[in-house]
Amino acid sequence: MSLIVQKFGGSSVANAERVKNVARIVSDTYKAGNDVVVVVSAQGDTTDELIEKAAELNPNAPRRELDQLLAAGEQISISLLAMAIEKLGYPVISLLGWQAGFNTNSVYGSARIKNIRTNRMKAELAKHNIVVVAGFQGINRYDDLTTLGRGGSDTSAVAIAAALHADKCQIYTDVEGVYTADPRKVDGAKKLKEITYDEMLELATLGAQVLNNRSVEMAKKYSVELEVLSSLNPIPGTLVKEVAKMEKMLIRGVTSDKDVALVSILGVQDNPGVAFRVFDKLSAKNINVDIILQSFGREGTKDIVFSVSKDNGPLAVELLSELPALEGAKIVCNTDVAKVSIVGAGMESHPGTATKMFEALFERGINIQMISTSEIKISVIIDSVDADRAVSAVHAAFMPND
Ligand code: ADP
Ligand code: ASP
Ligand code: MG
């Protein structure tokens, strides 16, 4: 007998038919003699709709109240799924995040899991119940509800799998696995049989929504092997693991992220300490800086350009405008940019990889504004209007036609 954690995303539980379908998958797993813990997200676009409702009343709603509201989405899903499973004749209980023992810190909207008190889940499993847990939520030390950040149900599932030493963690979604690019946007995207934690972490962080990046980080830390698969088509999905077979491809995937802004500081005095003061000011306000480019000094001045998330662009300009060290410099923010990235462990040993990517962009007349590389990824910043075309062009250049 195995312990299996199964997670179902919003589209997998979007309506009564889909909930019944999930109830069947879960019951089949239970019937085969397994212990089952199920994690579910809010139905369809519920979380977005709740955010819109809040904005109608208060665009700057208190974060605590927002979490109080957003946690309601998952509460609806767990109870409906439990009812559907009971109807099929199987013993089941639904648990909210706090009932399942999720203790988090107090960063409303992107709380981190501190620990999971597993006694309740274990007791329910011992009673042979199917345990249905609300993803995306926990409780802080003040007994207030918290949420884990968008897409956080993936992390809830991996955390349970790690805490209960589950044999398997299956992430069911609306595509058949992890692809070489978003299969809804890129013709010819191929499903991967396997991918490493490190590659998946880069893809998720660089924009591939199929798994939340924190969930991958946690899966790697606790060696939880993940399978990403479809809730609508019962075929094998993609395994995310420590070592993965390479499939005759130089890279594992192409992705894009439009949540990017470029901040340029032009004509800064070319003195020591300027970069330190700029990035110190930003880090003091928890603004995460991604790619940084500094020009050579010429005629006593230089330029510094860096990328941040879209929300943080205007804030960064405001903060830097107050900095005495930048007096006389021009500070501008461009939010019409996107980051396009390729990821793959194989590129380390293939020197032509960057050239091939740049050539594909050049052939489409797409201008590169910034470049950043690491051992297993290359990212470029380009105009956001070019992002989708760029992903398709780069994907076509790297993927073998078979
Ligand atoms: P869920 O509601 O199940 O959590 P998400 O919408 O969060 O599902 O993630 C699934 C979506 O991720 C897919 O519908 C697909 O459009 C998108 N996606 C982006 N990049 C990839 C990729 N490389 N492979 C598979 N899906 C991807
Ligand atoms: N319902 C939450 C969201 O939409 C969590 C999740 O789907 O994983 O972000
Ligand atoms: Mg998701």
For the range 111-116, what are the long-range contacts, defined as Cβ-Cβ under 8 Å and sequence gap of 24 or more? 111/67, 111/138, 111/140, 111/146, 111/147, 111/148, 111/149, 112/148, 113/138, 113/148, 113/155, 113/156, 113/159, 116/159, 116/160, 116/163
- Binned at pLDDT 50, 70 and 90, residue 66 comes out as very high
CA angle 32, 12, 85 (to 5 degrees): 45
Distance (Å) from CA 173 to ligand 1 centroid: 7
Ligand 2 is surrounded, with C-beta below 6 A, by: 9-10, 41-42, 47, 73, 135-136, 150-154
The whole-angstrom separation of Cα 325 and Cα 340 is: 33
- pTM for the full model? 0.94
- Provide the b/e sequence for 117-136 (b: ≥16 CB within 10 Å): eeebbeebbeeebbbbbbbb
pLDDT, tens digit, 9 for 90 and up, residues 282-319: 999 989 999 999 988 788 899 999 999 999 999 999 99
341 Cβ below 6 A of ligand 1: no
CA distance 343 to 374: 10
Least distant ligand from the CA of 10: 1
Q: Is the CB of 29 under 6 A from ligand 1?
A: no
Q: What are the structure tokens assigned to 251, written together?
A: 């890279």
Centre of ligand 2 to C-alpha 151, Å, is 4
| Ligand 1 close to Cβ of residue 45 (< 6 A) | no
Residue 37 CA to residue 381 CA, distance in Å, equals 41
Q: Please say if the pLDDT value at position 59 is more than 70.
A: yes
In contact, 9 and 173? CB cutoff 8 Å: yes
Q: In whole angstroms, how far apart are CA 379 and each of 69, 188, 207, 279, 293?
A: 36, 21, 11, 21, 13
Cβ–ligand 1 distance for 151 under 6 Å, the answer: yes
Q: Is the CB of 333 under 6 A from ligand 1?
A: no
208 lines ligand 1 (CB under 6 A): yes
Mean pLDDT of the chain, nearest integer: 95
| pLDDT, mean of residues 270-286 | 93
- Minimum-distance ligand to the CA of 232? 1
- Please give the single-letter amino acid code of residue 201: L
| Residue 1 pLDDT level (bands cut at 50, 70, 90) | confident
Ligand 3 centroid, distance to 9 Cα (angstroms): 6
Cα distances from 289 to residues 75, 233, 303, in angstroms, run 35, 40, 16
Task: Confirm or reject: Cβ of 179 under 6 Å from ligand 1.
Answer: yes
Query: Model confidence at 402, in pLDDT bands (50, 70, 90)?
Result: low
C-alpha distances (whole Å) from 311 to each of 242, 308, 317, 385 are 34, 8, 11, 19
Structure tokens at 309: 């998330």
Residue whose C-alpha is closest to residue 3's, from 32, 41, 45: 32
Ligand 1: residue of 173, 199, 239 to mutate (most ligand atoms within 8 A of CB) is 173
pLDDT in tens, 213-260: 999 999 999 999 999 999 999 999 999 999 888 777 789 999 999 999
As a whole number of angstroms, the distance between CA 341 and CA 88 comes to 45
Average pLDDT over residues 42-66: 97
Ligand whose nearest atom lies closest to the CA of 14: 1
